[in-house]
Structure 1
């Protein structure tokens, strides 16, 4: 074994990690044969033990799989670089396949093996075609792209680009980023999965635009195929008793802030998004509809029921144009419901209910009233039918009740159970 950049023998890598994992064996003791296997899907499906287990690949020295008692399985590669033993996580078995993990491990080991060796000098032509640093490219991308985003999207994407992306890759060349870099970067968001899920699409757009500008080869977007973190959907539905408590809290708060209460009632009766109601303008009110020229999914129609029409009719100073719910401090700016909603939900003893949960609850009540998912999607303004299917599980109880009634009727017809 050479000291600088060459791969570790399989027994050295195995012994080192076994000594660190505290399994009671000395560093000079060889691993059990069962720990040296061919790392593939069969190994991933093995049940975890009561202690940490580490498996080593028999074909690629240094490539391993760490299995925690809780079931988390992490691919890694162990190598010696510049005289130091290093371990690099490649991702979990839920995020990348054994074949992908093997390719990443092989690429890293090849990179380490070449570390310190002389490299071919670039030709003048190659030096002239050098792509810019990501930090410099981001300024051009922002100038070209930001004007096409909505203000809320622009604000969110600005943080994603100039904080998250440039914070990690700002000093890298735009054409130097590879798939492995994105996967390693993904691991740094274990504690902030939502931030990664929002940042990755922005990064992908940046890489795609770089291809169109000729700064990267066509079809080389390193973000494509990178899995997002799986997150449990945040869904909260109000029960009948909770609706009653909310109604009482709204009546009590109406004397203090009638405009805010009216806006929240409009959210309840329409299932609209919070921003759609906050920024609602009189010129868009065409009863029995709200004709929104723009929304999260583009132009949208919000259908008004009798209760929603009554809420709008109760508003003072109806005008031909302007905001329905203007801010008291600046009539040209819309209200912000967040602060007042916190007070209202606390009065209703519903501290975990978000404003967006009023939209979820609208859908759940519609399902309990046997309204089809297709119609619910139309009411909520979903651009894709797949978005509405998230509420499909709410109809299980209704379907089960219908099955019970049908089977009961058949039983009576054939004289069973009488």
Structure 2
């Protein structure tokens, strides 16, 4: 039963004795002072337990709106308007300013939800100024982020770099980390990945690790990871035996004989192989060679693995170039039959090396053998580095052990001559 009792307001099931602190005539008020919200006495008001049953009651209307305050949650109330609409609201004081925030109409917002919203707002005010945990927004998964990385950075890569990085991503990185969020990849995950690659995919891991490290470094630059959190930092690569293979004089003779046999049927491939032997150039540098870059006594390459490069031509290399047929419809020195791109050298090299009984010799080993021959002829390492186009001296330093062998042999020859001179050896 609903009725008015003096200045109080009574609802059946909700009314408590008048003038009591829990009665409908008690209004706590809100006095923040210099701190946060503190309920205090103020002018008489109406109080009740504001729940769904109460909000569904037909409350008396007045010419002006009035408020009913909750008996449990200070600041939570129900506003009754002359139009007959009821509105949940919360009254709070933040930084010396009173605010009354409407939460919604009682017939559209359940009492429990309104109370929860009011409690959350009051808690936010009470905690204002206290240290907060940084809000970390969800980061994209790596398979989505790689598109951003590729679009932003691949424009400055060489075609070979793009191909190599994409193969590393597709074959090794994506299966292991593609579904993980960028910020969730930890050093422990990298260690597990390294262990999974042990034995069968160690080389793939070594090539893919710097690609993943660059991906996560770019994520740091975009603030998708905490700065300095790259889990690839300090991760050791697998130690692998070097693949350098040096041709012996006997093997050189076998290659020379096989080239003479193949010259009539495959003149371009034979000429290309001889240029590789005589210059120590990389196979890609000779395959993509154009006639306008041939400026004896040198080849002036506008681009290579290490940027613009000069390849010095000796008399044998010049003789090879003079014997190559030129084509009017292409500037390539070694075009394919359609004259649209360089010829496919691998298709010829694989059966050729088998013909020479050298199944383990790679095309790049011709470059290593050029350097080893120079070492045997006492050419200084610095000069060899210039001939090979090395930017850093450390790159040429890997041939230093060959130089030590030459010095050791020279020391043995000198000692033998001295021993013979003093009569220790006949």
Over 3 Å counting, the alpha-carbon distance change for 1:252 and 1:215 in structure 2 is same
One of 201, 204, 214 as aligned partner of 1:195:
204
| Superposed CA offset, 1:257-287 (max 9, x none) | 1011111110010000111110011111111
C-alpha distance in structure 2 between counterparts of 1:382 and 1:301, whole Å: 11
1:325 matched to which residue of 2?
334
Report the CA distance between 1:241 and its aligned residue: 1.4
Task: Identify the structure with the greater helix proportion.
Answer: 1
Q: CA deviation at 1:148?
A: 1.7
Counterpart in 1 of 2:402?
394
Change (3 A) 1:405 1:245: closer
**Contact 1:279–1:325 (Cα < 8 Å) also in 2:** yes
User: Of residues 124, 141, 146 in structure 2, which corresponds to 1:133?
Assistant: 141
Consecutive unaligned residues of structure 1, counting only runs of 5 or more, are 1-122
1:252 aligns with 2:258: no
1:225 aligns to 2:234 (yes or no):
yes
Q: Map Cα deviations across residues 222-264 of structure 1 (whole Å, 9 max, x no partner).
A: 1111001111001111111111111111111111110111111
Q: Which runs of 5+ in 2 are unaligned?
A: 1-131
Q: Distance in 2 between matches of 1:401 and 1:136?
A: 59
Q: Does the Cα contact within 8 Å between 2:287 and 2:342 map onto a contact in 1?
A: yes
Q: Which residue of 2 aligns with 1:240?
A: 249
Mapped partners of 1:257, 1:409: distance in 2: 49
1-structure distance, mates of 2:329, 2:384: 31
Kindly report the root-mean-square deviation, in angstroms, between the aligned alpha carbons of the 2 structures.
2.1
Aligned residue number for residue 282 of structure 2: 273
Question: Could you tell me whether the CA contact under 8 Å between 1:182 and 1:223 is conserved in 2?
Answer: yes
| Contact 1:282-1:320 within 8 A present in 2 as well | no
Between the two proteins, the alignment pairs up a number of residues equal to: 293
SS at structure 2 position matched to 1:262? helix
Counterpart Cα distance in 1 of 2:253 and 2:245: 16
Deviation >3 Å, runs of 4+: 318-321, 405-413, 415-418
TM-superposition CA deviations, 1:359-392 (whole Å, max 9, x none): 1111111111111111111111112211212222
Q: TM-score under structure 1 normalisation? A: 0.66
Rg larger in 1 or in 2? Answer: 2
Equivalent residue for 1:417, pick from 390, 410, 424: 424
| Structure 2 equivalent of residue 298 of structure 1 | 307
TM-score, with normalisation over the residues of structure 2? 0.65
Contact 2:330–2:340 under 8 Å retained in 1:
no
- Structure 2 distance, partners of 1:412, 1:316, is 56
Distance 1:256 1:218, change over 3 A: same
Task: Specify whether residues 408 and 279 from structure 1 end up closer, same or farther in structure 2 by C-alpha distance, changes over 3 A only.
Answer: same
